[in-house]
Every structure is written in C-alpha cells, then in structure tokens.
Structure 1
C-alpha cells in the first residue's frame, strides 16, 4: 500500500485507527483528537447577533453550496484541513438529515455554517427525551460569524438543555465561550494518526524563514526510500529539500519523529523522550516546526 501511495504522488497518509499500536508498528504517529464541550445553551448568553448578520436554518441539501463556500475559505488558512472534491461533497449529502445554520454577513454572503441535529424537548418526559443538540461540524471565516452561530445555539435555550460543540483546533479561547458555571465538561473524539509516505515531498515547500541549513537522517523501517540523509534550507519563505543519500548527519529522526514535526503534533525537543530523535536539535528545527494542531477531521 505504501508503494502504491508513493507511486501515485502521495506525500503523507492519514487515518482513523481501530487500534493505535497496530498502525504505530507501521510508523504512524498519534495526533491530537478533537475536543468537544458539553454545555447548556443558556450558558452561551454572552453571544449576541452582530449587526448586519442573519442566521438561517435549512436542510443540509439546501445548504450544500453554502457549506462548500465556507469550508473552502476556511481551508485556505487552516493547517491540515481536507480539500473536498465534488464527489466527496456528493457523498456527504447522501442520506444526510442534519440541519445547517448558515450565518450570512452584511454583504449577504455565507460566512459561517453550523451542521447539527437535535432531539427531544426540554425535560418534559424524563432524561431519555431531554432536549439535546449535537453539532457535527461548524466553521466560520471571521469572529462575527462565530458569534452569530453561538447566538443561534443560545436561542435554543428553552428547548435544548444539553449541546455538544466541537472545539476546532484553531479555537484556543474555547474556555471563554460559556459563562455561569464553575466547570467545563469536555470529551474527545477519535484521534487520527499520520505518517510521511515521502519525506522529501512532505517537507518541500513548507513555510520557513532564516538562513540556516539543517542536515538530518531519517530511519524508516517500512518505506526504505525515506531512509536517507536530507538537507533542509529556507529559501524565499519556503523549505527546500535536498537528498544527501548516505551522508553522515548530526541529527537522526525516526519516521515517527519527522511525521510528528510535519503535522505539528510535537516539537523537535518533545521527540526526545520517545526516542524519535537523537543528536543535535538545532534552533532552526524548533523554529520551522512549531506545535500547531492539524485540522484533520473528516466525516466517514
């Protein structure tokens, strides 16, 4: 399978594991799972509808083009986000009974989407029928659109007592979303795993600055074409990668280590306790590969 991916131009491979140790044996590394906040919509009372914005609820099929517009725009500036093909959008709409709240900005263009389902009503018939909302996915292109969507959730306070909201990897202020309670209930979704299929392709063109050069060796027990020495150099704001064959290097990384750096799940210094890096850790490696959560969550 890895040879097939290499021959067809794949730089990396990402999957949802049934068991992490199984895929770990093939060089895949764990990446952070998506968090979910569990709250009462009443605790979102701080969020008001921004001036000039409207929110309209519609069936998923009717909102498909709005979803495409917002997802494509968000994907342009989000690390690791999936680019969905026309076929993929068609697959997502098959049998999809979700509703979509679309936030339209002052210009009338869609700026946010919230795909959700809900059941029950308040707490009239016992806990089994308690009003609940589950947000499957939500995206926004700016802070006002996010405010409009949070306000939309809050407006369900009379009928919904429990809502689950994904915490997107770009949302580092999620603890500010709710108020009026002392603790935040959270759970996690399924983590994903990733590995580099072609180290050279995975690194080529990544954003980088400075005038340093880094030479390191990769050890890959499965994809032998990656087991070689590489030189990294920043040029015009991007990484340039040169194969150095069997040349000596002061730094050695396992395929797990370099994969973790590419996906931003760990920094170079954090690889040490796992045995995924040895030798010198240059400042350039730390600068070029900061910890950045990858948004690799696609519904299947």
Structure 2
C-alpha cells in the first residue's frame, strides 16, 4: 500500500469519488459528476493524503489551510475535511494512519491548531480533539420586531446579491477574526465560491463608512421562512440595523431563522420577541465542532492572569512532554524541555493531561475540575487553581462552513 499527496487535478477520480459516496446522493447521476471539475479552483490549496492499493483509492483525508483566533491571537489552522474510506476498506486503520501523518506534516509546516466537524466525536476524541459549543439557531416572527421599525438608528443598510456584496461580507469576517475567540476563516480561494455561486442575498449594516453587521440569506417563498446564515455583528448597532431589516418583512414571511454565536441571547433582542432557540445534535449529520492544539507553543504570549503550573501531556504523537506554563506580566510563557520541571522548593503544582484536556483548557470550554471527570487527566486542587487563572472560561465561536 502507498500513501501520497494528491495533485489538485487528481481529485475527481480519487478522493472525490469516495466523498460522493460518503456525503452525496448515491450513486451520483453522470451529469452531476461531470460538473465536479468546475469546483477544482475552490480546492487548489487544500492538502490531501490518500492510501492506495495498486490503482484503487482506499481512503483519503483532506485539510483546508485556514486561520483561527484563539484567545485573541490569530494562528494558522488546518480544517480537517473530506475524511472518507472505500466501503470495502473501512475499519482497517487507514483513516487513523492518514490523519496522524497529515496532522504531523502540517504541524511541522507551521500549523499549530486544527479544527473539524466530526462524523463521530468519540473517534476524533482519541486524536486529542476537544468538543466546542455549537452555534445556535434562533427563529421568530418578524411581527415581534415592531419596536425596531419605530427606532431612529444611525447608519444605513445595503441590500444586494452576494456577488455584489461579497467584499463587504469578507471585510466584516476579517475584522471579526481579529476580535472573536474561536472565529475562523476559509482561505480566499475557497471563500470566493460564495460570490461565484451567487445563491444568496446579503444585507449589510454600515456606520461611519465601516460595515458593522451583515447576514446572508434566502427566502423559501411568500408566507414562508427567511433562512439567514450567521448573524455577524461587531456591536449592538450592527445587530439593531439587521433586526430592523428583518422587521420590514412582516408582510412577506411568517418566520425568520438565523444562526447566532453560542453565547448570544436572542431573547433580549426586543421586548415582546418570542423566540425558539436550539442547538440540535445528531450523528453523523448535525454535529458540534472540535479543535485541538498541534503545538503547545500556540499558547505562548496569550493574555492571562498570574499563575504557574507544570503540565505533563501524555499519550499524544504531537505534543506529549513536560511544559511549564507561567503567567508573567499578563502574558503566558511556555517552557518545554530543560527548565520545564524545576526541582526547587518553589516548584509549581503538576497536572497530567491528555491532548484533549489541554485543548479544552486553551479553548476555554472546560474547567480544570471537569478534566478528571471526563478522563482528560489528573488535576490536583493546587494545579486546578493555577490552570483556572491561566485559562479562564471562554466561549469560542467557530464560524466556518468547511
């Protein structure tokens, strides 16, 4: 058997053949399969490993080079996508081999973090990925937003097809990338598919010459539902302008549905707003994202409170080892190797963590006391106190559609 990286033009006859079977209507009509080569430009920078037995592709794993904000610092990130195997070659360890090799190669090439949407979280948990909160979907009647129709708001709204408003949407997501924990962005070559498909409307909110909010959407018919994607805003004014736009559809649609960040509180958007907010998980079709550290050096320089702890990371091919984490002058220092385990009377408390455990702390989704309960390590009370100071609770918002 042979493992190799694919060239972009090989995808339709190798990895995409397995992806069609795994994720699409099967078997795909020949005329639809013929359209696949038109999508090659949107995958030109993706990295794909395949394992082959002669001329047969047995499994494939792809990653998309992206960027993600972790506690205020934007890092290169790899989004794992297109994990597939031949139906006659499943449960033979091919995906595990490919994923381990590909993540290792990308770590060595300068990508310190990775994220994905799992087909089965427990499978990726064994690779050190920690679960992140899923964005919520909120639905409501536009009639409940009447107070926003009477509001005199500064700024303006622009309504366009996505092909014309794409630049504003991209500019807003670039701005949010620098300020929103967990936020991630697709590369330009992939994201531009939104514009070229031109399948959505976009409304953007502007104030003082800057875009402060935007949402893309479709409408399924008169008296139906306005289906909005992620409601993206940088401040309350941006959200208010978008809600005012939704209110103007009171005589056109019965419901409005939109995606919001996990820590959003739509029940507070208006006085008489009746909302239905949900986060529904089912496997393998509707899952929450996961993420992990591929390098503990990604934590270096993060803003933090005072704290000092030694962390022994175990059972991981990428980050196993001993690290000294020290919050100094508001920034986290990371020492690995010599000096990470000082043998002095003032030696710090010690925690033993899995890769999923340290990743859950980095993303702010679990308290140190929860880690032993989940099987993510051993954390004595003294170490938990230090870790809690270094990694306070945070709510990551993984914006992406990879």
TM-score in terms of structure 2 length: 0.66
Q: Helix, strand or coil for the counterpart of 1:205?
A: coil
Question: Deviation per CA, 1:190-217, whole angstroms, max 9, x where unpaired?
Answer: 310111111x22221211132x321111
What displacement does 1:25 show?
A: 2.1
Q: Is the 8 A contact 2:369 2:384 kept in 1?
A: no
Measure, in 1, the Cα distance between the counterparts of 2:301 and 2:189: 28
Evaluate the alpha carbon distance shift between residue 97 and residue 175 of structure 1 in structure 2; reply closer, same or farther with a 3 A threshold: same
Measure, in 2, the Cα distance between the counterparts of 1:266 and 1:96: 40
Evaluate the alpha carbon distance shift between residue 75 and residue 170 of structure 1 in structure 2; reply closer, same or farther with a 3 A threshold: farther
Measure, in 2, the Cα distance between the counterparts of 1:79 and 1:156: 32
Measure, in 2, the Cα distance between the counterparts of 1:169 and 1:81: 12
Does residue 204 (structure 1) correspond to residue 300 (structure 2)? The answer is yes
Q: Is the 8 A contact 2:219 2:227 kept in 1?
A: yes
Does residue 240 (structure 1) correspond to residue 340 (structure 2)? The answer is no
What displacement does 1:233 show?
A: 1.1
Evaluate the alpha carbon distance shift between residue 84 and residue 219 of structure 1 in structure 2; reply closer, same or farther with a 3 A threshold: same
Q: 2:241 aligns with which of 148, 151, 174?
A: 148
What displacement does 1:46 show?
A: 3.1
Q: Is the 8 A contact 1:70 1:111 kept in 2?
A: yes
Equivalent in the alignment of 1:119: 220
Equivalent in the alignment of 1:174: 266
Measure, in 2, the Cα distance between the counterparts of 1:190 and 1:279: 29
Greater RCO (Cα-Cα under 8 Å, separation 6 or more) = 1
Q: Helix, strand or coil for the counterpart of 1:234?
A: strand
Measure, in 2, the Cα distance between the counterparts of 1:278 and 1:21: 20
Q: 2:199 aligns with which of 75, 93, 97?
A: 97
Equivalent in the alignment of 1:158: 251
Unaligned 5+ residue runs, structure 2?
A: 1-101, 281-285, 343-348
Q: 2:226 aligns with which of 110, 133, 142?
A: 133
Measure, in 1, the Cα distance between the counterparts of 2:144 and 2:371: 39
Measure, in 2, the Cα distance between the counterparts of 1:282 and 1:267: 8
Equivalent in the alignment of 1:72: 174
Equivalent in the alignment of 2:361: 261
Equivalent in the alignment of 1:126: none
What displacement does 1:272 show?
A: 2.6
What displacement does 1:28 show?
A: 1.5
Indicate the larger mover: 139-148 or 20-29.
20-29
Equivalent in the alignment of 2:53: none
Q: Equivalences for 1:269-280 in 2 at 5 Å?
A: 269-280=369-380
Q: Helix, strand or coil for the counterpart of 1:47?
A: helix
TM-score in terms of structure 1 length: 0.87
